Chain A
C-alpha cells in the first residue's frame, strides 16, 4: 500500500522529450488513470514509476522514499503488461510463483500463496497448463495473479485490456475494479480509452505531447475541462466548440454570440480576443423561443437519445437530445445552452478561462 508522488518528472530520449516536467500525487489505495492518445508519454511515465526507465530529471516518491534512480527489482511494484508477458517456457503455476521464488520464500508458502491467488482469480483449474494455449482472459488473469501474489506496494498496468476482445473487456474491467477494491492497493493504470478511464478510475491524469493537461476526478475532467484538448478527448461525441471573437471582464456572466447573449458561469478573469465556447452535446436543448438558431444537418438515432448535427453561425455542432423529440433534416431550430455547464476557452492557448465553474480544478494559470 503506498502513496506515490511525482515531482517535476522529465524524460528525454535523445532529442525527443517524452515527458515534460510532470507533477501529481497518487493517494494510497487509489485507482489512478493515466489517459491520453498514443505517444503522449503516459506509458513512459508509468515505466518510470516502475523503474523500467530512469527519469532524465525529477523525483518519484513511493511512501516518502525517493526511488527515481533505483532498479525496478528494488521498488516492490508489480507491472501488468499489455501483451501480458507471461514467461512462455513456464506453466501457469510457475509463472505466478516466479516473483515469490526471487524473494526466497519457502516452497510450502509459495504453494499456499499461489493457491490463494488462484482461488481469488478463479484459475485453480488451469494451474498446471502451459501458458501458450490459454485464452486471452485466462492469460490476463494469470498476469494479474503474478502481480498480486506478492502483495506489492502498488500495481502498474499498461493497457491491460488492450489485447482483449471488446466483448470481454467490459467484463474484465469490472473484475479488475472489484479486485482493486478488495485488495485496496494503489493502482496506476495507463489507457487511451476515455470510457475505460471514466468507468474505472478514482482520479485521471490526461496527458498530451508529454504534458499533463488536467488532473482530477472523472467528474471534474468531464464537467470542467481545463483545456480544449481535454474537452475534445473526453466524451463521445466530444464537447462542441463555438468559435467567436469577443471580450469578457472579470465578474462577467454572459458573452455575445452572433448578437445573442449567452449566459455563462461568472468569470474570474478578463479576456479579449479569439474565444471558444465549450458546450457538451447533452447541454443543448431545442427551444423554439431561443434566439440562437441552427439548421439540422443529420440525426443519428441511438435508442434513448439521438445525436443531432446542426449548422450554426459558429460552426457545426452536435446535440444529444431525447430520441422522441422531433428533429427533421433541413429544419431550423432554436437552441439554448444550460448556463452553469459552459466553459470558455482562450483559442490561442487552448486553456479554459477561470470561472465560477472550474475554479479550483485548473492545473495551469
Chain B
C-alpha cells in the first residue's frame, strides 16, 4: 500500500460540496432561467422595473411567437367570439389571429441545416481522420496543417468572398449552401478531433479483424467505428453547437427560403415595441434540440470514458 490513500469524504464535506456545486450551477444558469421565465411573462411584466421574479405566468409569448395577428373593429370582435384559449389571449388586445408565424419554418430550417452539416462533417471527418491516422500519405503533415489552417482566421473575415461566390453559384439562401458552408467550417475541427481519437485506438484490433478474414473497410466499419463512438459523439456535439448557433453567415446569406432561427428570432415585432416574451419563448424552444441531442448521446460519452479506463 502506498503512503497516500483516497479517503471517503465525510457526510459534511459531501453536503458542502453539493451546495457549492448547486450554487455555481444556479449562478451560471441565471441568464438561461431569466429567458425561460421571460417567455412566460406578460409584456408588461417582462419590462417592469424592478424586475419581477414572481409573476403570473401566461402563454402569451408562445402564442405570439407562433401566430401573426391583426387589430379588428369592435363590431367584428363582437360578431366573432373567441373559440380557443389562444384566441382568447389575443383578444385582450382587440386582435385576431390571421395565420401562423414563420417561426416553425425557420426552426425546421435550423434542424435541417444544423443536423445536415453535423452529419456531413462527422462522416467526412471520420473517414479523413482514419486515413490520416493509419495510412502512409505523402505530405501528411502538410495536409493536416492545411486542414487546420482553415481555422486560423475568423470565418466572418471571408464573408464577402463567400457571399459573392454563393451568389454566382446559386447557393444563396439555399439549404444546400448553408450545409456546405457549415460543413466546411466544422470539418477541420472534426478531422483533428477524430484523428486524436483514432490514434488512441490500437491498430491490433483492426489487424485482428484483417486476420479473421475481414476486408479493410469491414475492419474499419465493424471494429474501429464502435471503438471511436466516444470521439464521434463528442465531435458531433461540437459541430452541432456551432452550426446551430451560427448567426453572422445566416444573416448574410439567407432570407426568405433557408433562413435559420437565430436571425429570425430578433425580428419578432410586437405591438408598440419589441415583444420580449415572444423573443424569449423563441429562444427557449431553440435551446431544446441541442439539449435533447446532448442528453441522448450522453451515455455514449460516459461509456466511452469508462471503456478507455479499463482497456490497459
Binding site for B on A (CB under 8 A): 50-52, 71-73, 77-79, 81, 83, 85-89, 98-99, 102-103, 132-133, 146, 150
Q: With A85-B202, A85-B204, A85-B205 in contact, is A77–B211 under 8 Å at CB?
A: yes
Sample (7) of A-B pairs whose CB atoms are under 8 Å apart: A73-B213, A77-B211, A81-B207, A83-B204, A99-B212, A132-B310, A132-B311
In angstroms, Cα B208 to Cα A77, docked, is 11
Judged by a CB distance under 8 angstroms, whether B214 is at the interface is yes
Judged by a CB distance under 8 angstroms, whether B307 is at the interface is yes
Within the complex, the shortest CB–CB distance from B59 to chain A, in Å, comes to: 47
Cβ A89 vs Cβ B226 within 8 A: yes
Judged by a CB distance under 8 angstroms, whether B255 is at the interface is no
Size category of the B interface is 20 to 34
Q: With A132-B307, A133-B310 in contact, is A87–B208 under 8 Å at CB?
A: yes
Q: With A81-B204, A85-B202, A87-B205 in contact, is A72–B307 under 8 Å at CB?
A: no
Which of A50, A52, A72, A98 has the largest count of B CB atoms less than 10 A from its CB?
Answer: A72
Cβ A89 vs Cβ B227 within 8 A: yes
Cβ B215 vs Cβ A88 within 8 A: no
Interface string of B78-121 (1 = CB under 8 A from A): 00000000000000000000000000000000000000000000
The answer, among A72, A83, A132, for a CB contact under 8 Å with B211, is A72
- Chain A residue contacts of B223, Cβ below 8 A: 87
Within the complex, the shortest CB–CB distance from B207 to chain A, in Å, comes to: 5
- Chain A residue contacts of B215, Cβ below 8 A: 71, 73
- Chain A residue contacts of B128, Cβ below 8 A: none
Cβ A73 vs Cβ B205 within 8 A: no
Judged by a CB distance under 8 angstroms, whether B210 is at the interface is yes
In angstroms, Cα B226 to Cα A133, docked, is 18
Cβ B212 vs Cβ A146 within 8 A: yes
Within the complex, the shortest CB–CB distance from A142 to chain B, in Å, comes to: 12
Cβ A85 vs Cβ B207 within 8 A: yes
Interface string of B41-82 (1 = CB under 8 A from A): 000000000000000000000000000000000000000000
Cβ B205 vs Cβ A103 within 8 A: no
- Chain A residue contacts of B213, Cβ below 8 A: 73, 99, 102-103, 150
In angstroms, Cα B310 to Cα A52, docked, is 27
In angstroms, Cα B202 to Cα A51, docked, is 18
Find residues 223-244 in chain B having any chain A CB closer than 8 Å to their own CB.
Answer: 223, 226-227
Within the complex, the shortest CB–CB distance from B175 to chain A, in Å, comes to: 35
Of all A-B residue pairs in the complex, the 8 with the closest CB atoms, nearest first, are: A85-B204, A102-B213, A99-B212, A89-B226, A72-B210, A79-B211, A85-B208, A81-B204
In angstroms, Cα B311 to Cα A79, docked, is 20
Additional 4 contacts, C-beta under 8 A, given A79-B207, A79-B211, A102-B212: A73-B214, A81-B207, A87-B223, A88-B311
Cβ B307 vs Cβ A78 within 8 A: no
Cβ B212 vs Cβ A52 within 8 A: no
Within the complex, the shortest CB–CB distance from B90 to chain A, in Å, comes to: 55
Q: With A88-B311, A89-B226 in contact, is A78–B214 under 8 Å at CB?
A: no
Closest to A14 in B: B136
- Chain B residue contacts of A81, Cβ below 8 A: 204, 207-208
Which of A51, A79, A89 has the largest count of B CB atoms less than 10 A from its CB?
Answer: A89
Closest to A90 in B: B226
Closest to B229 in A: A89
Closest to B219 in A: A73
In angstroms, Cα B213 to Cα A355, docked, is 49
- Chain B residue contacts of A78, Cβ below 8 A: 211
In angstroms, Cα B214 to Cα A150, docked, is 14
